[in-house]
Structure 1
Amino acid sequence: MPKELPDISIIIPVLNEEDYILKVLESIALNATSNQIKEILVVDGGSRDQTVKVARGKGVQVITGPKGRAKQMNLGAKIATGQLLYFLHVDSLPPYAFDAKIIDSHIKGFKAGSFQLRFDTSSLFLRFFAWCTKINQPICRGGDQSLFVAKTLFEELGGFNENYVIYEDNEFIGRLYKKTSFKVINDYVQTSARRYLKIGMVRLQYHFAIIHLKHYLGKGPENLYSYYQKNIAL
C-alpha cells in the first residue's frame, strides 16, 4: 500500500509586516500543489499596523504571543497539528510545488531541510552568497531559506532556544545537523534584500560573518545580540 502522506503546518512569525504578509500568503496559495497543507499559523508578536487584519482577511489562523521570533515560532509549533512544521519568514516566498518537494524529501527519509536562496535583486554580490546556499553545510544555512522539520524531531530537540533574540534559526539548524541528515532541496525561496539595501550589502554581510564567528568561538546569545544592536539594528 502507498505510504500515507504527511501533512504540513506552515508557521510564519510576524511583527508589523503589513507590507509583506499579503504577498507571502498569496505566494503560498499560488505555489502549493498538494492537499497536505493542514494549516497556516501566523504568529504575531504585537503588531501595531494592519498585519493581523490582513492575515485574518485571508482566512488563516492568527496567534498572538510574546515578541521574539524564537518564542513566536515555538508557540506556533506547540499549537500546530501537522506532522511536518514549515517555518517561513514573512519576506521569503516559497517556490512552486514547495509543499510537494518537502513531502518528497520526507518520504525519502529526511526529517529536516531547507530550500536554497535567491534575493529579489540583481546584485552580483548577493547572488554569490545566495549561490553558497547550495552547499550542504550549517554555515550556509539561514532562516531566510525557510525550514521544514518533523514535529517529533522538533520536540525532541526542544525547539528554538528562546535565549537567542537573533541567530535563533542558525543555532537550531546547527543542532539539527548534529542530530539528523539535513536536506537542501534543489529549488529556491526568493527573499527580500531590504536589510541589505538599507544598511549596505558589504557592511551587513561583514557583520553577519562576525556574528557567525562569535558563535563559533563560543559567545553566548547576549553577546551576539549586543553586537547586533550596536552594528545592525535600525
Structure 2
Amino acid sequence: MISIIVPAHNEKKNLEKLLPHIENYKTTIPYEILVAISPNTTDGTNSILHSKKVLLLNSPKKGRAAQMNYAAKHAKGTILVFLHADVFPPKSFLSDIKQALSNNIDAGFFSYKFDSDNFFLKINASFTRKDGIFTGGGDQCLFIKAKKFNTLKGFNETQILMEDFEFFKRIKKNKIPYTIINNNLIVSVRKYEHNSYIRVNVSNLILIVLFKFGCSPKKLKKIHSKLIKTQYHNG
C-alpha cells in the first residue's frame, strides 16, 4: 500500500480540490490519504467531506515536520509519499512511484511545473528535472520506502523551516539511492502572488546557502518571515 501524507495548516480550500482529484484515481494500486492537520488550524479543515480512503488526523504538535511524522506513525503503507496541499499530482502518480521503487531505488522526487504560463517560472521549473542545489524541496513530493524513513527516524521536528532539505541531506549522507521522476506535478504560484519573482528567488537562494552553512532553524525561520510574505506556512 502507498500512504499519501498531506500536512495541512488552514488548507481547506486546497484540500477540497486535491482530495477528490486523488480519490478518483483509476488504479489497482492500494493507497490511502492521511491529512495531518496543524493544531493551529482555524478554517474548519476537519469538516471536509471525504471518502473512506482519507483519514483526517489532528496533529498534537505544530510544524510541518511534526505533522508529517505524526501521520507516518498512523500510515499503513510500505511506501510513504509527502504531498503539499497545493500540489496536484499527475494521473500516473501512483504507478510512477511504484515503478521507480522497483529498480533498487529507495526514495525519490517528481519534477514539477507551475500553474502559470509565466516564462520565468517555466525556467524555475526546468531545474526540478535534474539533481541540483534546489533538489529536495517539499513541492517536489518526496516518496520513500517506509522502512528507510523509519531508519532515518523521520523528519527533524526541531527543523521548523526547510525540514524537507534537512531530510534530503540525510538521505544523501546515508547513501540511500533516489531518483527524480520527470512527470510534472502542478504547483501553485500563490507564493509569487504576494511576492515578486525576484524577491522569491533571491530569498530561496539566501535560505538554501544559509542552511548549507549550518544556520539554525530559528534564524532561518526569522529570515524567511522577513523576506517572504505568506499567510499559509505552518506556524
TM-score by length of 2: 0.91
Contact in 1 for aligned 2:15/2:85 (Cα 8 Å): yes
Give runs of aligned pairs for residues 126-141 of structure 1, distance below 5 A: 126-137=121-132, 139-141=134-136
Secondary structure, in 3 states, of the residue corresponding to 1:48? Answer: coil
Residue of structure 2 in register with 1:45 after alignment: 38
Q: Please report how far the alpha carbon of residue 150 of structure 1 lies from its aligned counterpart in structure 2 after TM superposition.
A: 0.7
CA distance in 2, matches of 1:101, 1:19: 27
Choose the corresponding residue for 1:29, options 20, 23, 28. 23
CA distance in 2, matches of 1:207, 1:152: 34
Q: Check 1:159–1:81 CA distance in 2 against 1; reply closer, same or farther (3 A cut).
A: same
RMSD across aligned C-alpha pairs, in angstroms? 1.4
Contact in 2 for aligned 1:45/1:67 (Cα 8 Å): yes
Residue of structure 2 in register with 1:214 after alignment: 210
Q: Please report how far the alpha carbon of residue 31 of structure 1 lies from its aligned counterpart in structure 2 after TM superposition.
A: 3.9
Contact in 1 for aligned 2:136/2:142 (Cα 8 Å): no
Residue of structure 1 in register with 2:192 after alignment: 196
Q: Please report how far the alpha carbon of residue 33 of structure 1 lies from its aligned counterpart in structure 2 after TM superposition.
A: 2.4
Give me the identity figure in percent. 34
More helix by share: 1
Contact in 2 for aligned 1:34/1:99 (Cα 8 Å): no
- Structure 2 stretches of 5 or more lacking a match? 231-235
Q: Please report how far the alpha carbon of residue 43 of structure 1 lies from its aligned counterpart in structure 2 after TM superposition.
A: 0.6
Residue of structure 1 in register with 2:13 after alignment: 19
Contact in 2 for aligned 1:74/1:160 (Cα 8 Å): yes
Q: Please report how far the alpha carbon of residue 32 of structure 1 lies from its aligned counterpart in structure 2 after TM superposition.
A: 5.1
CA distance in 1, matches of 2:228, 2:186: 22
Contact in 2 for aligned 1:9/1:81 (Cα 8 Å): yes
Contact in 1 for aligned 2:29/2:95 (Cα 8 Å): no
TM-score by length of 1: 0.92
Choose the corresponding residue for 2:159, options 152, 164, 181. 164
Residue of structure 2 in register with 1:177 after alignment: 172
Q: Please report how far the alpha carbon of residue 79 of structure 1 lies from its aligned counterpart in structure 2 after TM superposition.
A: 1.1
Residue of structure 2 in register with 1:227 after alignment: 223
Q: Check 1:81–1:57 CA distance in 2 against 1; reply closer, same or farther (3 A cut).
A: closer
Contact in 2 for aligned 1:31/1:96 (Cα 8 Å): yes
Q: Please report how far the alpha carbon of residue 30 of structure 1 lies from its aligned counterpart in structure 2 after TM superposition.
A: 3.5
Residue of structure 1 in register with 2:65 after alignment: 70
Contact in 2 for aligned 1:32/1:97 (Cα 8 Å): no
Contact in 1 for aligned 2:4/2:83 (Cα 8 Å): yes
CA distance in 2, matches of 1:87, 1:139: 17
Give the length in aligned residue pairs.
226
Q: Check 1:155–1:32 CA distance in 2 against 1; reply closer, same or farther (3 A cut).
A: farther
CA distance in 1, matches of 2:56, 2:23: 17
CA distance in 2, matches of 1:102, 1:76: 19
Q: Check 1:214–1:45 CA distance in 2 against 1; reply closer, same or farther (3 A cut).
A: same
Q: Does 1:90 align with 2:99?
A: no
One-letter identity of the residue aligned with 1:156: T
One-letter identity of the residue aligned with 1:213: V
- Structure 1 stretches of 5 or more lacking a match? 1-6
